[in-house]
Structure 1
Amino acid sequence: MQEVDVQDAWIFINKIFPILNSSYPTVYTKEEFYKAAKIIKELNLTCFVQDMVILKIETSLRKSIIPKFWSHFKSPENIKPFYKFLKAIDSLYEDYSKLLEVINALDMLRNINNFDKPIMGEMNIKNSLKLMLKSTMFSQHHTSYDKVISYFYEEALLLEDMDSFSSKQCPICSLLDCSNCETLFLKANGKLIEMSLLGPLTDQALTDLIYYYINMHIQKTCKDNFDTSYIESFEKWLDRVIITWLKKIYCHSEVSDRSIADFDKKLRNYLYNTYTKIRINQLFNIIIEYPDSLAALEDIKICLPKTDLKQYLIKKLQQAVETRLLHLGVSTSDVLTAYVAAIRSLRFLDPSGLLLEVITQPIHQYLRSREDTVRCVVSSLTEEGPNDLAEELVRGETVLCDENTIQDSDENWETWTPESSDHQPSKIPATKRSSDIISMLVNVYGSKELFVNEYRTLLADRLLCQYSCDTEKEIRYLELLKLRFGDSQLHYCEVMLKDIVDSKRINQHIKQDPNYKNQEIPISTMIVSAQFWPPFKEEKLELHPKLLTQFESFTKGFETLKGSRTLCWKNHLGIVDLEIELSSRTLSLSVSPVHATIMMHFQDSNRWTLNDLSKTMQVPPTVLRRKIGFWQSHGLLVENEQDIFLLKEETSEDNIVQDNIIIEDYESESAMASAQDQRDEELQTFWSYIVGMLMNLDTLSLERIHQMLKMFALQGSSVEYNIHELKIFLDKKVREHQLIHSNGLYKLPK
């Protein structure tokens, strides 16, 4: 009897589980199923049957179903990836459905026989099937799978973002107004969700694809466009296209809300990071185009708190500044323009000033190394036309240096926030940071006197080189500068401007003197107070006797007017208006005194040698030759022989420059002594000490001379200089043959 029951059981087992014979379930009645279940239970074969069924399912998955699934990815290249993946999913789902019938039958058997042994750790045997499917699939992962699935979802994503295309042609099947491809796509995702394969199979591919798509969309939309804010439109685009598309994919998923929420958080974070990085990489251009780029700065300001990119911003911007700004190929004025734009832009991004301080520190150091920085700053402050520094000057704020304290403002204590710890430690306390641009430029050097002295020199140049100088404009600038630097700092400049007004009055008074009238050469002088003006450039020049006579007559008139005061003439400074009448033309020129003196001597004699004229004018031959070159360029003088010059009154039409107009001198040299000349003059006061040392000690090294000067000559003196400056000074004396340098020692020539 027992033997018959076992045979009956095996017949019924094969009928309800034909997979044991490598086939799938056939139709069986409910009575047949319950009868088989009863026999299996009586024979205690439930566990055996379950193990046999699971083993057969695993074998079928490993040897048949999964290899067939991966085989679809080896199909010919002319088949679109979209259809490859659809075919693979349909085939897998068909096999999965058959296995699901087996699992359902096994689950019924377990329920009838009250059998609750877990399968692969799962009490729900449907989950066990999904686990077996998933583990077997990824154990046989095919290399071409990632590429196919990426193309599959990329084409599907293009379906969602059809608004970005000019035509409504389907990117998959190339038909107009196609709705079938999207239906197929959604069905395929529904099957993956049912098999619990959507996440494991597609999450990484979806993430990579969407990241790429976001990046491309941002790059395409905001490339080199800084005058529009995009962050809000990007957020709307993310919701309208990407998130909506993901909701369609996960619509049948039991965890759709959680999946979408996770994706939404991750994608928004990526959107902010990507957009912020792109804008940071463009930040140097954004700064240069300020204030037109204010919208882009606003986006960066919004995104920075949502990202961890402040250090990235500092690094990238410092690199851009170093490679694109801080080199010899960029003029100092352009560096200053970029610096001012950086101050305003970074102050907008970070009102605390910490970011500004860190970024601009290399610019400070570089500006300090350029000799013309102060002059460029002062020139920009007082030049006509739209100018950032001139606008700052008009605001009238006081220049504050590091030693001055900026008082804290208690009015906004409710909105006060502590300084960010993201930046490098600041050397300047928050109470001493100035947001004023001119103050920051002054703080580069830490001295207002340096800027005031440069303005004084610049003002002197303008007053001396432009006899029709607009004193009212200069007074207006001076008043604005006094608001910045203080009255005491600019007192000398007030005297200089007063000298200009007084000079006009004195000139008019002397010219009305009967003893001075009817002069052959009319002159107009600028009389300056020597102790208030910067040092003048010193050059030797002996004027023509006619001019010297005129100067003596003017001096007598001045002494008569001023009593105990007299005039010390600077023969090499000034402008001479000449009218030169030739046989074929007339020239009207404004030239320097040395050029005028040359022509006056050629008026006396048509032929001069370079040495004779040099001795007569007391001008070095090399300098004189350069000055004569000016008249050669106008065709008036020719060098007939070596160092012999002739006046040429008749010239061909090709050599004639524009007639009867004022031609400015091509040399626009400063009338004031350079900073190096002034420094040499200061050092010259110690030359007698150095000569005395060498007379007593014969030979001395550079270090010894410097040490002895510090001990004796520099005590109580306001002039200081380092050993490098001393070496430059002594080497100059060597070139002038006043010293001999040998074996590292200096000595006097015998």
Structure 2
Amino acid sequence: MNTEEKDSSFVIWTKLCRLFPILTGENPETFASEEEVAEAVSYFMAVGQTNQCCKLVWAEIEAIILHQIAPRFWEIFTAVPESEKAAFDAFHSAITLLFKKLMLFESTVKTLSLLEPNSGGKFESIVQGVLLAKAPYNHQRVVKMFFGLSFKVFCHSENTHDESLEELICQGCSQESERCMCKEILKKFSEANNHLVRLGLMERLAGEQLRELLQMRIKSYVQELCKGSFSSHLAELESWLETVVMAWLNCVYEEQDDVAHSLVLELSIVKLRHFLYETYTKIRVEEFFNIIIGKLLRHRD
């Protein structure tokens, strides 16, 4: 490399570090002035170095997430609390911390978008890939406990008009009624969902657990309602699916844009309704089968 090339490389690196201070160890929220950004972007485009410069910045972002942010996030999941409320709080704390840390890159990603299209989407992909690659084996249990408690509290809040005013233990949060934490839980639930959706992590981090949870709740509700009964409960079950299950899912995905939100709910209702009918049919067949076997046994006796 001759002297001219060295000088050119030095100028490029200097301007790049001023444009993206994280390259010199500065905090991600540190950013250049608008004038510096405009001048540097014009320069990199003029010398044809935008791709190489973006690669250096993305590599630094990935390294920070990999070595600093991801370990701190997953550390909270290391010791899984036995208490459902403790697991709920741990998950909320972890997501809140993650959101605050990743939002510090907002100005950096915004500047990158001036050099490279779809930088927001690339940032989401890096977060998803790096974060989930470091996931501990037991993190799914915490996720299930978080959404499980929120679903129970939501169902309880939708049916408070049926509860006794003299109830000593809240059936939602399982605390003494005087110390009911349902409102706090629903508030934290909404905050965590907001963070997950904005980071593009809802489906990757919690999608499978959400589906398993809802299928388990649907099966339990159908069994509870139909066991030992030969009346048709389809209308009641469909109403419960729409007013409780889908209303809860609506809260989960409420921060998505209207199109994405509608699509998620539309696909979910189709799948959940199918599962509801399948579970209902199976339980009814089992009930009728038990009746026939019971009559045959009595007849034989």
Q: What TM-score, normalized to structure 1?
A: 0.35
Instruction: Select which of 151, 170, 173 maps to 1:171.
Output: 173
Deviations 1:89-111 (A, max 9, x none): 11111222122321111112x1x
The residue identity in structure 2 corresponding to 1:281 is E
Instruction: Select which of 87, 94, 98 maps to 2:100.
Output: 94
Structure 1 residues 61 and 165 mapped into 2: Cα distance closer, same or farther (>3 Å)?
Answer: farther
Is the 1:156–1:182 contact (alpha carbons within 8 Å) kept by the matching residues of 2? Answer: yes
Structure 1 residues 127 and 18 mapped into 2: Cα distance closer, same or farther (>3 Å)?
Answer: same
Deviations 1:580-626 (A, max 9, x none): xxxxxxxxxxxxxxxxxxxxxxxxxxxxxxxxxxxxxxxxxxxxxxx
1:152 Cα deviation from its structure 2 partner = 0.4
1:275 Cα deviation from its structure 2 partner = 1.4
1:78 Cα deviation from its structure 2 partner = 6.1
Distance, in Å, in 2 between the alignment partners of 1:171 and 1:94 is: 27
Instruction: Select which of 95, 105, 125 maps to 1:131.
Output: 125
Distance, in Å, in 2 between the alignment partners of 1:177 and 1:71 is: 26
Structure 1 residues 177 and 67 mapped into 2: Cα distance closer, same or farther (>3 Å)?
Answer: closer
* 1:103 and 2:136 are equivalent in the alignment: no
Distance, in Å, in 1 between the alignment partners of 2:75 and 2:286 is: 45
Instruction: Select which of 224, 245, 250 maps to 2:228.
Output: 224
1:207 Cα deviation from its structure 2 partner = 0.9
Distance, in Å, in 2 between the alignment partners of 1:26 and 1:67 is: 22
Residue aligning to 1:280 = 285
Residue aligning to 1:213 = 217
Identity over the aligned pairs, expressed in percent? 23
Is the 2:153–2:173 contact (alpha carbons within 8 Å) kept by the matching residues of 1? Answer: yes
Distance, in Å, in 1 between the alignment partners of 2:270 and 2:59 is: 42
1:28 Cα deviation from its structure 2 partner = 2.8
The residue identity in structure 1 corresponding to 2:91 is F
Residue aligning to 2:16 = 13
Instruction: Select which of 52, 57, 66 maps to 1:53.
Output: 57
1:286 Cα deviation from its structure 2 partner = 4.3
SS of 1:74's equivalent in the other structure is: coil
Distance, in Å, in 1 between the alignment partners of 2:89 and 2:174 is: 9
Is the 1:155–1:172 contact (alpha carbons within 8 Å) kept by the matching residues of 2? Answer: no
Name whichever structure is richer in helix by fraction: 2
Distance, in Å, in 2 between the alignment partners of 1:178 and 1:153 is: 13
For 1:228-627, list aligned pairs within 5 A: 228-254=231-257, 255-286=260-291, 320=293, 325=296, 330=297, 334=299
- Structure 1, unpaired ranges of 5+: 111-115, 117-122, 288-319, 337-750
Distance, in Å, in 2 between the alignment partners of 1:237 and 1:29 is: 54
1:85 Cα deviation from its structure 2 partner = 0.8
Structure 1 residues 284 and 32 mapped into 2: Cα distance closer, same or farther (>3 Å)?
Answer: closer
Is the 1:82–1:172 contact (alpha carbons within 8 Å) kept by the matching residues of 2? Answer: no
Deviations 1:146-165 (A, max 9, x none): 11110100100012111276
Distance, in Å, in 1 between the alignment partners of 2:10 and 2:17 is: 11
1:127 Cα deviation from its structure 2 partner = 0.5
Residue aligning to 1:155 = 149
Distance, in Å, in 2 between the alignment partners of 1:103 and 1:256 is: 25
Distance, in Å, in 2 between the alignment partners of 1:248 and 1:130 is: 22
SS of 2:123's equivalent in the other structure is: helix
Is the 2:20–2:32 contact (alpha carbons within 8 Å) kept by the matching residues of 1? Answer: no
Larger RCO (alpha carbons 8 Å, 6+ apart): 2
Distance, in Å, in 2 between the alignment partners of 1:173 and 1:59 is: 43
Q: What TM-score, normalized to structure 2?
A: 0.84
Structure 1 residues 245 and 222 mapped into 2: Cα distance closer, same or farther (>3 Å)?
Answer: same
Count of aligned pairs between the two proteins:
283
1:74 Cα deviation from its structure 2 partner = 1.4
- Structure 2, unpaired ranges of 5+: none
Deviations 1:321-351 (A, max 9, x none): 8xx73xxxx57xx269xxxxxxxxxxxxxxx
Name whichever structure is richer in strand by fraction: 1
Is the 2:91–2:143 contact (alpha carbons within 8 Å) kept by the matching residues of 1? Answer: yes
Q: Which has the larger radius of gyration?
A: 1
Distance, in Å, in 1 between the alignment partners of 2:175 and 2:54 is: 46
The residue identity in structure 2 corresponding to 1:88 is A
Distance, in Å, in 1 between the alignment partners of 2:82 and 2:224 is: 30
1:198 Cα deviation from its structure 2 partner = 0.8
Structure 1 residues 207 and 107 mapped into 2: Cα distance closer, same or farther (>3 Å)?
Answer: same
Distance, in Å, in 1 between the alignment partners of 2:222 and 2:122 is: 44
Is the 1:75–1:84 contact (alpha carbons within 8 Å) kept by the matching residues of 2? Answer: no
Structure 1 residues 76 and 282 mapped into 2: Cα distance closer, same or farther (>3 Å)?
Answer: closer
